[in-house]
């Protein structure tokens, strides 16, 4: 996993390693190596705080760590559940993060340690940090995508069109569209214009629909072997890249 600092001067990565490597973009040189005390756990996800001063790193069977982006020093270990794997994490603000473990989403205030638990699996955060997407729980729930407000923590909408478990979720760069992939062999594009996070009112998702010049559609792959496991929108928002189980 690799992520760039908001000002583009630095990037951090955890490429199947426990150590977090921080590089300077212009110099292309290693700046810091952030090494947790527990060496047996692999890194999973990386995210910079909005002000670029901290880096959130999640791990397999270890609690999330907060690192100082300038010095590489450990700032904080966020107590979630060290026996569980935190697959994904993101900053909602400079003081608040969202992460997931054991099919639950945790919103944690880094200053007060106040937290809110949601019984779904956090997956993706919109570019404006106002909307989060999670995968549901249970045998039937993992087929669904849940959209919720990051400020009120309330569920705004639920996507239930997939017939098998969700494999990936991604927001478009402008936050107006969502891509979902599933073991049912489809990739779907969803129009989020009618999900109103500003007034926390009733929301409606319609899909597939039009996004920035890309007509909404459902992509069907050729059987189980071609299940799309990852999807990523390209910067212009009109194209996306995918990865299947064979790379």
Q: What is the 3-state secondary structure (H, E, C) of the chain?
A: CEEECCCCCEEEECCCCCCEEEEECCCCCEEEEECCCCCCCCEEEEEECCCCCEEEEEECCEEEEEEECCCCCEEEECCCCCCCCCCCEEEEECCEEEEEECCEEEEEECCCCCEEEECCEEEEECCCCCEEEEECCHHHHCCCEEEEECCCCCEEEEECCCCCCEEEEEECCCCCEEEEEECCCEEEEEECCCCCCCCCCCCCCECCCCECCECCCEEECCCHHHCEEEEEECCCCCCEEEEECCC
Q: What is the pTM of this model?
A: 0.82
| Summary mean pLDDT of the chain | 81
Report the pLDDT value the prediction gives residue 9, as an integer from 0 to 100.
83
pLDDT tens, position by position, 202-239: 333 444 444 444 344 556 655 555 788 888 888 877 77
Tens digits of per-residue pLDDT, 187-197?
888 878 766 44
Give the pLDDT band (50/70/90) at residue 60.
confident
Q: Is the pLDDT of residue 142 over 50?
A: yes
What is the structure's pLDDT at 218?
59
> pLDDT exceeding 90 applies to what percent of the chain?
36
pLDDT (0 to 100) of residue 208: 41
């Amino acid at each position: 996993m690799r992520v760039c600092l908001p000002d583009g001067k630095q990037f951090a990565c955890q490429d199947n390693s426990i150590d977090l490597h921080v590089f300077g973009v212009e110099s292309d040189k290693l700046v810091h190596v952030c090494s947790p005390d527990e060496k047996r756990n692999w890194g999973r996800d990386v995210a910079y705080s909005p002000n670029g001063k901290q880096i959130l790193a999640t791990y397999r069977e270890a609690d999330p760590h907060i690192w100082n982006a300038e010095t590489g020093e450990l700032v904080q270990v966020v107590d979630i559940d060290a026996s569980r794997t935190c697959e994904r994490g993101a900053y909602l603000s400079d003081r608040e993060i969202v992460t997931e473990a054991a099919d639950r989403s945790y919103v944690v205030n880094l200053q007060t340690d106040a937290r809110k638990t949601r019984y779904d699996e956090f997956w993706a955060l919109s570019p404006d940090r106002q909307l989060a997407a999670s995968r549901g729980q249970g045998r039937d729930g993992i087929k669904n995508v849940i959209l919720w407000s990051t400020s009120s923590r309330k569920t705004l909408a639920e996507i239930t069109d997939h017939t098998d478990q969700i494999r990936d979720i991604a927001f478009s760069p402008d936050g107006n569209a969502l891509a979902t992939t599933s073991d049912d062999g489809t990739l779907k594009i969803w129009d989020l214009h009618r999900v109103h996070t500003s007034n926390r009112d009733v929301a409606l998702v319609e899909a597939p629909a039009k996004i920035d010049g890309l007509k909404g559609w459902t992509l069907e792959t050729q059987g189980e072997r071609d299940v799309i496991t990852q999807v990523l929108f390209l910067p212009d928002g009109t194209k996306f890249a995918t990865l299947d189980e064979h790379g």
